[in-house]
Amino acid sequence: MIPQYPTGHDLLSGKVVVVTAAAGTGIGSAVARRCLEEGASVVISDWHERRLGEKAAELAELGKVHAIPCDVTKEEQVQALIDSAVGHFGRLDVMVNNAGLGGTKSVLDMADDEWSRVLDITLTGTFRCTRAALRQFVAQGGGGAIVNNASVIGWRAQAGQAHYAAAKAGVMALTRCSALDAAGHGVRINAVAPSLAMHPFLAKVTSDELLEDLTRREAFGRAAEPWEVANVMVFLASDYASYLTGEVVSVSSQHP
């Protein structure tokens, strides 16, 4: 049974939040929606401009939304994202690094460019956004929060996922180490590690057999809804997590 969708409680009232890869139907758009419902002003970004515009129009019914196209593999576009967010809303309080790329390929058949693309978007893209956000936080006088989207696959082995698992394990390590670099500036950096969050794009790129197998491993007998993962990201972004940094929170009911 899927639980009731929660109402907002102003956990992010007055904060400015940037969310990458927010134009689709997955965790990114869900966290953007939940941030708006919790009182934040939200900047959404994505590389797909048409979908980004459509998502911005949809979310604008909930609150203040600003959309900026951004390819996280391009440092200048990442910096432009931060600059535009600050120019539009006056400051930055929360950076949600959601952009990532997966795929299924055996190491035996994987080409260098397939490996590199997944690492560049999923891990190095998170680094670029973390660096740009941290520099903005310091320029503002300190404070702020970064929330990264990792995955339980960074801990658990799965055939055909060497590139994605390596990238997500890297996101976890980046989260822990950058948190120590940022702590002196009053900035918190944490991550979530979802197991299986169902949305149309995942269903499109994953076989029914694999989805059924992954679902069977979940203690609740179902995949998470994207908003259930987003709720944990909202908590990590909020002042309720004021003494939490360098942590990777598993959002999973998976059992062996």
Please state the pTM of the whole predicted model.
Answer: 0.94
Residue 216 pLDDT level (bands cut at 50, 70, 90): confident
pLDDT at residue 2, as a whole number: 84
- Spans of all domains in the chain: 16-250
Whether the predicted pLDDT of 207 surpasses 90: no
Residue 199 pLDDT level (bands cut at 50, 70, 90): low
Instruction: List, for residues 120-132, the tens digit of each pLDDT value.
Output: 999 999 999 999 9
Residue 197 pLDDT level (bands cut at 50, 70, 90): confident
**Rounded mean pLDDT, 218-240:** 94
Instruction: List, for residues 52-69, the tens digit of each pLDDT value.
Output: 999 999 999 999 999 999
Catalytic residues: 164
Whether the predicted pLDDT of 154 surpasses 80: yes
- Of the chain, the percentage scoring pLDDT greater than 70 comes to 94
Please list, in sequence order, all residues whose beta carbon lies within 8 angstroms of the beta carbon of residue 166, skipping any fewer than 6 positions away.
Answer: 119, 123
**Rounded mean pLDDT, 147-157:** 95
Please give the mean pLDDT across all residues of the chain. Answer: 94
Third-level CATH fold of 16-250:
Rossmann fold (3.40.50)
Dist. CA 1–CA 119, nearest whole Å: 36
